[in-house]
Structure formats: structure tokens, C-alpha cells
Amino acid sequence: MATAAQQLVRMLDELGRVSDEPGKLTRTFLSPSMRRANAQVAQWMRAAGLAVREDAVGSLIGRLEGETPGAKTLLLGSHLDSVRDAGRFDGPLGVLLPIVALGELKRRGVVLPFAIEVLGFSEEEGVRFASAYLGSKGYAGKLRPTDLRFHDAKGVSVHDVLRDFGNGKFSPPAAAHRSRDLLGYIEVHIEQGPVLENKNLAVGVVSAIAGQSRFKLTWIGKAGHAGTTPMALRRDALAAAAEFAMGIEAIARRTKGLVATIGAMTVAPGAANVIPGEVAHTLDVRHADDRVRRRALVAIGRLATQIAARRNVSRAWQRTQENGAVACSPALTAQLARSVKAIQGKSLSLVSGAGHDGVVISELTPVAMLFVRCREGLSHHPDEYASPADLEVALRVIIDFLERLARSSRQPSS
């Protein structure tokens, strides 16, 4: 088992060197390094006994047939693309760990009654185009014409790139499977947050992927001389935005599980001796329960109205993103939690604040996710790190999960 975990560490290291940029890890949608990454992972898939193909969107699919012909298929996967100057675990862990798990089962002579597909999605991070999840959307048959119209920095569209990839031909693929032929989708991913480290646990089971709303807010007051305008006569847009920032923090702090963030702000005119006349900023609000998020947004809207009235400033809202929460499958999650408990002694359920391929795949089949502790919760950074010991725990959990699922699907259904 230790050998299998060491093998996983070596594979993560090796794939982490496959990059578009020298000296750092950057692997974007259908770039030359993505082609090399697919070739490398395909080789590992074949060594584990999988039959390999690429779909029209460049996702890598390794398939292992089950004992019984026509048996249902369990999907396991994540994405092979990365952000710029990325770490080597975000994405590849969820592709390589199942390959190593299947290799280990093969070595032990275990044959599963169901089929397995290991998926390496070609795009999840939304780096090259302002559109994320192209890989999983392609696999799930959810690519829409609007997804194909986005352009990269050089003015090349998603459609152009896919047509080149398909040697001059591309049409959005249908779903790779009918839902009724699938058992579900399991994604192993680093946590990208500090909860597991805080609880001193190697792995945890995700209960839901948080829904999120994003806005652009603009506060309009009146610019004026910083020396000559008395405080009582000011309409300071930045003071209003600052009060709003403190207010949303208070709302999030008193609502369990809610996170609210202002991550970018511009102040105009932006001079040391001028009262800010206009402030624009982002707002990102997330919660695992859409009702809680919507209630919080009502409270946040009321807060903005009160601040604007009291300070005699106006404000404008623009919603830039809206995604509902995705609940993980209770059955698959309970099964995964049993394996976590068996291997780790206790299981912890946690919400994913970040989006994952599972969001899209949940439209095709029930999903479950296993989170692996990462040092200081750090991700999207070259220092991203999950320890070999934690990776071994995750590997043992997935092997145990597959064996349990095999046992339960062999039992005759009543």
C-alpha cells in the first residue's frame, strides 16, 4: 500500500512538470502541455488496465469494463488543466488517485462487478477563456453555443480551438452516458481551505458545493476638497462602501456557514486630497443552502439601502454570477463516509466553498466528493502541498469504497 502511495506521489510530481511555462506549472485548455499531459496520463491509465480515448473537447477517458457485460459505470475524475503558476495537486489528484487505486486492485486480483471510467477533464479553471467547466460540460452533453463564443486573449474562440483539435470538425458532443447507466461520480480533490488541518484530519467528505452570487456594486456620492468640505456636508462614497463592508462581515459572521467577500475595489477620483465621489467593488456571497444565501442577500440589500439613505449617496447593483448549491448524493456520501470512518477512525462532513467539476456532472449523475487536507489550506499556488501520508489515507479510502460498492452490488437485490 505504501508503494502505491509512493507511486501516486511520483506521478503527481511528474505531471506537475508538464507545463506551458518554464519553471512554473501552467497548463491551460488544449495547450501543447495539455496534449503532453493527456499522453502521459493515458500511458498510466493503460498500465492500470484501462482502455483510453479522448473526447471532442480534449478530455481524457480511461475505461475499465466490469465483470458483467452491460453493468453500470462508476465515474471517478477531476480536471487536468491548471491556473497560472499552479500547484500540482488541484485537479490531477482526482485523476491520478483512481488510476493508482485501480492498479492496486488489479495487482490484488480484484475484479469489480461494475465498469469504471476515470476522467481527466480538459478544462475546469476558466483561465484561457472566461468560461469554466468546458471539459465536464462536454462530457455531460451540456456545452451550449454560448460556451463556444468566448474568446481568449489572442481573439481565438472556444469553437476555433475545438475545431482545430478535431482536425477541422467540431460539433458539441452528446452526453457520454445515459443517466440510468451510471452509478455516480466520485471526485477526490484537495480541500483548498483550512478546515481539515484545523480538525487534524487527513480527509473529509463533502456534503454540498456552495451556491454563489456575485455582484458589482457602485456607490455614488460627491467628490470635493478634502480640506475645505466639513464632515457633516460630505457625501463620501468610500465611507459608505466601508460601512457596507463591515456590515456584510457582521451578517456573514452571524449566519452559520455564510461567507461574504469584497475582493476588489476602485476609488474615484482616487487622490489623497479629494473626497471619494464614486466607489465600485465586487461582492461574492456563498452558502451550501440556497435559501440561506437568498435570505442573506435580502438583508445585504436592506443594509445597502439604509447606508445610502443615511449618507445621502446612491448605489447601483449588477449581478454578474449566480450558481445554485449542489447537494452531494446522500447514498454515495454515506458510503464514502463509511470508508473514511473505517480507514481514518472518524469522518468529517464539510461544505465545498469552491466550485468543482462535480457541479456540472451532478446534472448527469449523483456526485460525492472526498477532500484531502492541504497545508495551510493553500491552493492555486506553487507551494500547494498534500503530504504522502494523507494521500495514502485518501487512496485507502477510495480502494475501500470500491470494494464495499463491489460487495453491495454483488448482493442480489430484493
- The binding site for Zn ion (CB under 5 A) comprises 90-91
Identify whether 269 is preceded by a cis peptide bond (ω within 30 of 0).
Answer: yes
Strand partners, 333: none
C-alpha cell at 395: 487512496
Residue 51 vs residues 65, 69, 82: alpha-carbon distances, Å: 9, 15, 25
CB-nearer residue toward Zn ion: 8 or 275: 8
Minimum Å distance from CB 305 to Zn ion?
37
Minimum Å distance from CB 293 to Zn ion?
22
Minimum Å distance from CB 13 to Zn ion?
18
Strand partners, 323: 212
CB-nearer residue toward Zn ion: 90 or 278: 90
CB-nearer residue toward Zn ion: 132 or 248: 132
Minimum Å distance from CB 34 to Zn ion?
15
Phi, psi of 27 (to 5 degrees): -135, 105
End-to-end CA distance of the chain: 36
Residue type, 274: V
CB-nearer residue toward Zn ion: 91 or 211: 91
List the helix and strand counts (H, then E) for the chain. 12, 16
CB-nearer residue toward Zn ion: 192 or 333: 192
Minimum Å distance from CB 223 to Zn ion?
43
CB-nearer residue toward Zn ion: 211 or 277: 211
CB-nearer residue toward Zn ion: 210 or 297: 210
Question: Which residue has cell 478546515?
Answer: 195
Minimum Å distance from CB 2 to Zn ion?
26
Residues 13, 17: Cα–Cα separation, whole Å: 7
Minimum Å distance from CB 367 to Zn ion?
14
Q: How far is CA 137 from the centre of its chain?
A: 13
Q: What is the DSSP letter of 180?
A: G
Question: Helix, strand or coil for residue 225?
Answer: strand
Minimum Å distance from CB 79 to Zn ion?
6
Would you tell me how many other CB atoms lie within 10 Å of the CB of residue 6?
14
CB-nearer residue toward Zn ion: 12 or 223: 12
Phi, psi of 101 (to 5 degrees): -60, -45
Phi, psi of 336 (to 5 degrees): -65, -40
CB-nearer residue toward Zn ion: 91 or 98: 91
C-alpha cell at 326: 449542489
Minimum Å distance from CB 189 to Zn ion?
6
Residues 141, 181: Cα–Cα separation, whole Å: 15
CB-nearer residue toward Zn ion: 16 or 91: 91
CB-nearer residue toward Zn ion: 19 or 409: 19
Question: Helix, strand or coil for residue 273?
Answer: coil
Residues 143, 147: Cα–Cα separation, whole Å: 6
Residues 140, 133: Cα–Cα separation, whole Å: 10
Minimum Å distance from CB 352 to Zn ion?
10
Cα angle at 384 between 381 and 386, to 5 degrees?
A: 165
Minimum Å distance from CB 177 to Zn ion?
22
Of all residues in this chain, which one has the CB nearest to Zn ion in the complex? Answer: 90
Residue 198 vs residues 109, 193, 204, 287, 382: alpha-carbon distances, Å: 38, 10, 12, 20, 22
